[in-house]
Amino acid sequence: MAGFVQIIEFDTSHIDEVRMLGEKFAEERQAEGLAMAVKATVTADRDRPNHYLNIVEFPSYEVAMQNSGRPATGEFAARLADLCDGPPTFHNLDVITTMQS
């Protein structure tokens, strides 16, 4: 496998707070040397106001599950859910190939 991607799909009218929460979480993980994600991208759906997807890339499924099992990640997920207008949906995807121009 070429990696693992988790997509968190959610609706919120509090995107600025969600962004600040995500940035703080990433900074804390970096400072503690505990960052497991390779890359995270937050996107806004142009056709659906207040609909977002957070695309998080990991080196493997195992690393992603290790990250998901950490207490700090659980706390982050709970705080994210509090800012959402409904429950987030998680998509767990094995990367088969990646192409770049």
3-class secondary-structure state, position 53: strand
CATH number at residue 38: 3.30.70.100
Is the residue at 82 inside a domain? yes
**Arithmetic mean of pLDDT, 12-38:** 85
Q: Which domain holds residue 16?
A: 4-94
Is the residue at 41 inside a domain? yes
Is the residue at 101 inside a domain? no
**Arithmetic mean of pLDDT, 77-91:** 93
3-class secondary-structure state, position 27: helix
**Arithmetic mean of pLDDT, 70-95:** 92
Is the residue at 31 inside a domain? yes
pLDDT band at 25 (very low <50, low <70, confident <90, very high): confident
Q: What sections of the chain are H helices per DSSP?
A: 15-31, 61-68, 71-83
pLDDT band at 1 (very low <50, low <70, confident <90, very high): low
Is the residue at 23 inside a domain? yes
Give the pLDDT score at 7: 96
- How many domains is the chain partitioned into structurally? 1
pLDDT band at 15 (very low <50, low <70, confident <90, very high): very high
| pLDDT per position as a tens digit, 29-68 | 777 776 677 888 999 999 999 999 999 999 999 999 998 8
| pTM, full prediction | 0.86
Nearest Cα residue to 64 out of 38, 44, 33? 38
In what order do the strands lie in the sheet containing 51-58? 39-44, 51-58, 4-11, 89-94
Is the residue at 99 inside a domain? no
